[in-house]
Amino acid sequence: MKSFIILSAAAVLVVVFALGSGVYNMGASEKHWAITEKAITWVRESSIKAHAKNLVVPTIDETEIATTGAYHYDSMCIICHLAPGLEPTELSIGLYPQPPEFYERAPVTDMEEKLNQTKKYFWVIKNGIKMTGMPAWGATHDDESIWAIAKFVLKLHGMTPEQYGAFIVTDHGHGDHHQ
């Protein structure tokens, strides 16, 4: 047992030394090692699921989703996550990992899955994700606005440019991208 502990500690020290010596490239221009990618994805998804599971999704009417959620998304999110009909931006191209393009995802029809996905979107929008470029919008936005954004992001799944354009009609103070 003592030998196992010594060998384990030595292995940890070798890994720490190797990573600290620069052998692992932290540059966003080079992808993670496959095992690193799998570990990061597992940790990220597990963390989001664990932190979001007990959230209670409030009832928000469609007008609020359109006036608050759509406009915040259009003004703050499209530079990274894009919108239907938009070409990738210099920022979205340079990010690693690549931010999801929500309109390319299949629409969610199962009510329980919709609730769970909305909770996850809310948690990520509010808290951000370390080392991804995803900011924590909870520092500048109230929960009601973040819930509206989360519900709009879910509506983006499978949305066409024409459908998106119908949501984005006027400027609400963040800048107008689609008029």
B/e letters for 5-30, b = 16+ CB within 10 Å, e = fewer, are: eeeeeeeeeeeeeeeeeeeeeeeeee
pLDDT band at 110 (very low <50, low <70, confident <90, very high): very high
- Residue 179: the pLDDT is 38
44: in domain: no
Q: Is residue 163 part of a domain?
A: yes
Per-residue pLDDT at 126: 98
Stretch 99-122: mean pLDDT, rounded? 97
Distance, in Å, from the CA atom of 12 to the CA atom of 168, rounded to the nearest integer, reads 52
pLDDT exceeds cutoff 70 at 172: no
CB 164 within 8 A of CB 84: yes
The CA radius of gyration of the chain, in Å to the nearest whole number, is 20
pLDDT of residue 118: 97
Is the model's pLDDT at 170 over the cut of 70? no
pLDDT in tens, 47-61: 999 999 999 999 999
In a domain, 69, yes or no: yes
The domain total for the chain is 1
**Within a domain: 34:** no
**Could you list the residue range(s) of the whole structural domain that residue 83 is in?**
52-167
The answer to whether residue 19 sits within a structural domain is: no
Where do the H-state alpha helices sit in 21-110?
34-52, 62-64, 71-76, 78-81, 90-94
Q: Is residue 112 part of a domain?
A: yes
The answer to whether position 97 is within a domain reads: yes
pLDDT greater than 70 at residue 171: no
The CATH number of residue 141's host domain is 1.10.760.10
pLDDT digits (tens, 9 = 90+) for 60-92: 998 889 889 999 999 999 999 999 999 999 999
Mean pLDDT of the chain: 89
The answer to the question of residue 90 being in a domain is yes
